[in-house]
């Protein structure tokens, strides 16, 4: 069964002066997929994700996100996506509950609905007792999980995660991925950049970028077969070299 | 609207939870006002003097008494040797020495002319000038009362009145100045810092990805500071009035409207700074050096614009505070209305529009 395409990029080019950060990217992401965007630092991952989120516009190319054109329909796109950046994206001087209220307000979620969802979220993350604590006082692992939950609080069609697990220990990372799976199971498309190769194995499909170009795009299993590697780490090293 | 409400609420949380911000917002204005109020003085008080009275007659004693009871002078020492004058100035405490010639009273009575010498320590020219003119005034006053019928040939007696500030209170000068300075600093610095802080923390990206429009983000950032700055303006006018006795002779409403205009201008300037500054430190630096110093030096707050070199006079034309200070002085002291300050008001409106246009444009560019 062919699934609906939710992100499509054709010949996407982004130049900064003479430097080409994204060189002719063409890819499609299907609905409900966990799409991994891999590459070394400076390969152009963040540039691409910023374009897809509407933070930056491409130099040329055709890009559609959630069915909307990236040049003219950014406002509609913004309502349908969630975003979590490398930097921690919640306000440290606000409590957990206040942060949730803020995002609910920004995304126009009504009070009743917010209360139900907030209770659900706090229960799931076991944060009920500390909901009135400032975020700054929480351990990093909790913060990351919370940031992800807030990023999908408004039930977006797609959530963009830009190296969400940087600086987090392996156990917490594993738990974080449980949340990602759950979101994908609920029909949210996950677009994630990472440079942890073990995480690449968790993705449905991965694209590997090098120097602004997509060098490979397939399921982890097929990539391993094609490059005759036992794990994604080897695949990545073969391509990046 | 609801989006904006939750955004503004969050902005207030930031402000009220950060002791540093609270200190800058409410501590600095009051402290600055009180410091300026007690430090900048164009009047003198308790200047230490020494007297070398060679005559020691009734007249010289009466003049001495008048000087000392005026409240402006404190007698440090009675000298009895001309050579002591130099020594006592070198010690530094005494700022003025008054010398009466021999047989002062007698000569005055007989010839109608007597000589006294005023020597001042001009290492601080301001105090020296003030001390001399105060002394002269007191002595003249005494003579006039002593010989009311005395008619010198062709004597002109100027009757001086200091219009709008009869007692020459320096508070009249600095309250409008401090008001401009504080509002400029708080509005511009705090908005630029709070916007750059979001950039630094990475939360700005989240806001830009959200359905909030750039205009909403700007308004949400600016509105809390607008309200707090208006509260500050109130506090300054109140302290000026009740602590330093500065009147509000004109329309209070007009004063507040002009103040809001000035605050808006400063807020837009703050946004502009934030689009140029990479981080909070840079924003603070630009606001401090780029706004505070020129505002103090070039706006006519302390130093009269007319006395500046021509180049700096031109510079002072681009100081928004210059126009605001004129407006505030006109309304508070002269008590006149908009007819007399419409030019200054127009300049401030033009500046505000200019800053809004440039910063909205720059803010948008950053998005792309």
Please indicate, yes or no, if residue A229 is contained in any of the structural domains: yes
ipTM: 0.87
Domain at A203, CATH number: 3.40.50.300
Residue A2's pLDDT is what? Answer: 63
Question: What domain count does chain A have?
Answer: 1
Which tens digits make up the pLDDT trace of B291-310? Answer: 888 888 888 887 788 888 88
Q: Is the pLDDT of residue B155 over 60?
A: no
Using the Cβ of A76 and the Cβ atoms of chain B, whether some distance falls under 8 Å is answered with no
User: Considering only alpha carbons, which residue of chain A is nearest residue B210?
Assistant: A78
Mean pLDDT across chain B, nearest whole number?
86
A146 backbone dihedrals φ, ψ, rounded to 5°:
-65, -45
Which tens digits make up the pLDDT trace of A179-230? Answer: 999 999 999 999 999 888 888 889 999 999 888 889 889 999 998 898 888 8
**B151 pLDDT tier (thresholds 50, 70, 90):** low
Note whether A108 contacts B212, CB cutoff 8 Å: no
Which tens digits make up the pLDDT trace of B190-244? Answer: 899 998 988 888 888 888 888 888 888 888 988 999 999 999 999 989 988 888 8
Mutate one of A14, A89, A159 to test the B interface: name it (highest B CB count within 10 A).
A89
Strand ranges of the sheet holding A68-69, from the earlier edge strand across to the other edge: A19-30, A5-16, A60-65, A68-69
Please indicate, yes or no, if residue A130 is contained in any of the structural domains: no
User: Considering only alpha carbons, which residue of chain B is nearest residue A88?
Assistant: B202
The minimal CB distance from B2 to the residues A56, A91, A108 is found for A108
Cβ within 8 Å of residue A10, ≥6 positions away:
A26, A61, A62, A63
Please indicate, yes or no, if residue A144 is contained in any of the structural domains: no
- Domain span at A84: 5-89+157-240
Spell out, as residue ranges, where chain A has pLDDT lower than 70: 1-2, 241
**B256 pLDDT tier (thresholds 50, 70, 90):** very high
pTM value?
Answer: 0.79
The minimal CB distance from B13 to the residues A54, A93, A107 is found for A93
Residue B246's pLDDT is what? Answer: 87
Using the Cβ of A88 and the Cβ atoms of chain B, whether some distance falls under 8 Å is answered with yes
Note whether B211 contacts A54, CB cutoff 8 Å: no
User: Considering only alpha carbons, which residue of chain B is nearest residue A79?
Assistant: B211
A18 backbone dihedrals φ, ψ, rounded to 5°:
-90, -10
Secondary element (H or E) of residue A74: helix A74-80
Which tens digits make up the pLDDT trace of B43-76? Answer: 778 889 999 999 888 889 999 999 999 888 999 8
Please indicate, yes or no, if residue A100 is contained in any of the structural domains: no
Residue B29's pLDDT is what? Answer: 85
* Best CA proximity match to A50, nearest among A28, A26, A83: A83
Note whether B202 contacts A88, CB cutoff 8 Å: yes
CB pairs under 8 A between A and B: 74
Q: Is the pLDDT of residue B368 over 50?
A: no
- A216 CB neighbour count, 10 Å cutoff: 18
Q: Evaluate whether B167 touches B33 at the Cβ level (below 8 Å).
A: no
Task: Give the integer Cα–Cα distance in Å for A239 and A216.
Answer: 8
Using the Cβ of A93 and the Cβ atoms of chain B, whether some distance falls under 8 Å is answered with yes
Mean pLDDT across the stretch B116-120?
90
CATH assignment of B47-146?
3.40.1710.10
Q: Evaluate whether B56 touches B83 at the Cβ level (below 8 Å).
A: no
Residue B153's pLDDT is what? Answer: 53
Note whether B205 contacts A83, CB cutoff 8 Å: yes
The minimal CB distance from A57 to the residues B13, B205, B368 is found for B368
| Residue B208 with chain A: CB contacts under 8 Å | 54-55
Q: Where are the domains of chain B?
A: 12-40+168-367, 47-146
Residue B287's pLDDT is what? Answer: 87
Please indicate, yes or no, if residue A116 is contained in any of the structural domains: no
Which tens digits make up the pLDDT trace of B138-149? Answer: 888 888 787 776
Note whether A87 contacts B205, CB cutoff 8 Å: yes
Note whether A106 contacts B207, CB cutoff 8 Å: yes
Note whether B210 contacts A78, CB cutoff 8 Å: yes
Buried b (16+ CB within 10 A) or exposed e, B260-271: ebbbbbbbbbbb
Which tens digits make up the pLDDT trace of B314-366? Answer: 888 888 999 999 999 899 888 888 888 999 999 999 999 999 888 877 776 55
Strands A34-39 and A189-194, bridge-based pairing: parallel
């Amino acid at each position: 069964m062919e699934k609906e395409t939710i992100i499509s990029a054709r010949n996407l080019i982004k130049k900064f002066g003479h430097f080409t950060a994204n060189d002719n990217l063409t890819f499609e992401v299907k609905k409900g997929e966990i799409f991994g965007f891999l590459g070394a630092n400076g390969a152009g991952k963040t540039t691409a994700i910023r374009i897809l989120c509407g933070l930056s516009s491409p130099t040329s190319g055709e890009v559609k996100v959630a069915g909307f054109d990236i040049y003219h329909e950014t406002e509609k796109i913004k309502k349908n996506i969630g975003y979590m950046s490398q930097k921690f994206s919640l306000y440290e001087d606000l409590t957990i509950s206040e942060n949730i209220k803020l995002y609910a307000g920004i995304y126009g979620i009504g009070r009743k609905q917010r209360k139900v969802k907030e209770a659900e979220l706090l229960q799931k993350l076991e944060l009920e007792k500390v909901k009135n604590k400032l975020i700054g006082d929480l351990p990093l692992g909790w913060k990351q999980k919370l940031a992800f939950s807030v990023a999908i609080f408004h039930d977006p069609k797609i959530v963009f995660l830009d190296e969400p697990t940087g600086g987090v220990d392996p156990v917490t990372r594993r738990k974080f991925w449980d949340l990602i799976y759950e979101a994908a199971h609920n029909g949210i498309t996950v677009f994630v950049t990472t440079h942890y190769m073990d995480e690449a194995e968790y993705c449905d499909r991965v694209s590997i970028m090098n120097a602004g170009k997509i060098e490979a795009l397939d399921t982890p299993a097929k990539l391993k077969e094609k490059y005759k590697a036992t794990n994604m780490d080897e695949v990545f090293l073969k391509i990046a070299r | 609207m609801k989006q904006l409400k939750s955004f503004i609420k969050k902005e207030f949380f930031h402000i009220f939870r950060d002791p540093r911000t609270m200190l800058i917002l409410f501590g600095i204005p009051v402290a600055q006002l009180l410091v300026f109020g007690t430090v900048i003085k164009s009047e003198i008080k308790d200047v230490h003097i020494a007297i070398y009275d060679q005559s020691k007659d009734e007249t010289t004693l009466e003049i001495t008494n008048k000087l000392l009871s005026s409240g402006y002078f404190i007698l440090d020492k009675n000298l009895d040797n001309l050579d002591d004058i130099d020594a006592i100035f070198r010690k530094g405490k005494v700022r003025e020495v008054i010398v009466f010639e021999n047989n002062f009273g007698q000569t005055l009575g007989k010839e109608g002319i007597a000589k006294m010498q005023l020597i001042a320590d001009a290492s601080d020219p301001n105090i020296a000038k003030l001390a001399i003119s105060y002394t002269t005034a007191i002595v003249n006053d005494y003579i006039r009362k002593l010989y009311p019928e005395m008619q010198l040939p062709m004597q002109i007696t100027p009757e001086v009145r200091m219009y709008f500030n009869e007692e020459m209170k320096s508070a009249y000068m600095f309250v409008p100045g401090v008001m401009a300075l504080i509002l400029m600093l708080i509005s511009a610095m705090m908005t630029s810092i709070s916007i750059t802080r979001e950039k630094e923390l990475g939360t700005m990206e989240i806001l830009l990805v959200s359905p909030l429009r750039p205009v909403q983000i700007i308004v949400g950032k600016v509105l809390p500071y607008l309200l707090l700055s208006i509260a500050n303006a109130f506090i300054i006018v109140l302290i000026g009035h009740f602590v330093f006795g500065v009147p509000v002779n004109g329309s209070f409403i007009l004063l507040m409207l002009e103040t809001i205009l000035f605050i808006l201008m400063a807020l837009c300037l703050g946004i502009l700074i934030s689009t140029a500054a990479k981080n909070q430190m840079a924003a603070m630096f630009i606001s401090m050096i780029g706004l505070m110093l020129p505002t103090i030096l070039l706006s006519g707050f302390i130093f009269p614009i007319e006395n500046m070199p021509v180049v700096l006079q031109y510079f002072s034309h681009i100081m928004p505070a210059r126009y605001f200070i004129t407006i505030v002085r006109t309304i508070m002291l002269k008590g006149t209305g908009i007819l007399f300050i419409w030019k200054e008001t127009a300049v401030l409106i033009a500046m505000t529009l200019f800053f809004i246009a440039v910063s909205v444009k720059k803010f948008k560019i950053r998005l792309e």
